[in-house]
Amino acid sequence: MVTAYHRCILKAGVLSQKRSALPPLKRYVVLCAPLSVQDVQEVFAAVFKTDPATGLEVKTVPWLGNVACAAVRGTPLLIIMSSEHSTSSPTFIHFSDIRGMSDESQLRSACNFAVHIDVKPYDYRFAATSSTEYQEWNEAFGKAMSIMAERTMGDLRDGAASPTLDAVFEFERLNKASQQPPVDEDDDDNTPLGHVGRINTSLRATSPPSPPSPLSKPRQKTHVLPENVAPPSSSRTYVLGQDVPQSPVKASPGSVTFDTADRPPSVRPSSSSTAKSSGTRNSSGSSNSRVPPQDVVPTNDASDMEQ
């Protein structure tokens, strides 16, 4: 056994790994607690049967990394292999990933114990061949818990009882949770990160309300003329026989134009009444006509005489 020659290896031996709906398998299990560089070298050479003279193989680099990681963390390491001489695919279980253990009384099966971890397959259940071997593994796991407590929770005081497995695992769980970065749940204000959103909400609720804004002077409305007010008089040119005012253009032959710049605004008669009144003015030639007599120019006289 490698335990007799290396102090950092707490226990090593063959156990039966039980699987649900499958027959148990024989596994070679090593429980170690490396701390220094020398411990890492001893565990790696004793468990994986490597020769320092030949150097490291590429496939053994991850194995050495797991042993070194356990030494840096100060936590024990459980190594599971298919056999003592076969190191093709070992399994590493760091005690920092273990969330609990169950003994034979909890499992209600003699000489059985289980290791519960946070990753798949979540549970490793082993069975010892005898009660004596089960007690040896139980003592080895208890010693590993004491080493973990001394390295992570500080030295035990004189006369103090050894910490239980549940207490050590609970301490590791809380320690891992405290190392995670804080999450700010409230992004509505300028509160620094690390404060919980509900605390910020209560602080905002107790703060006094902001004073109302002062009343501003109302703006004066701009004076707008009504739509029915006529615009100021301007010089426009009208053509007889049309109701729409035209722009100043050159009058065609035979038409009469006059300027209304100096005349007061009046209601223009309709086209029919204009036609009737024009006939009356031409026939009678009275002085009541709106158009001055001197402005009337006879048109188309030659054509009327020919007819």
Domain 2-178 annotated CATH 2.30.29.30? yes
Please state the separation of Cα 43 from the chain's center in Å.
45
Written as tens digits, the pLDDT of the chain (307 aa) is 555 457 889 999 999 998 877 888 999 999 999 989 999 988 988 888 877 677 778 888 899 999 999 999 889 999 999 988 887 889 999 998 888 889 899 999 999 999 998 888 889 999 999 999 999 999 999 999 888 888 776 544 444 444 455 555 555 556 666 666 555 555 455 544 444 444 444 444 455 666 665 555 556 655 555 666 565 665 566 566 655 555 555 555 555 554 544 455 554 555 555 545 455 444 444 444 454 555 545 555 544 444 4
Cα 260 to Cα 273: distance, rounded to the nearest angstrom: 20
Contact (Cβ atoms closer than 8 angstroms) between residue 123 and residue 15: no
Cα 2 to Cα 11: distance, rounded to the nearest angstrom: 8
Full-model pTM: 0.51
**Domain boundaries of the chain, sorted by first residue:** 2-178
Cα 87 to Cα 76: distance, rounded to the nearest angstrom: 20
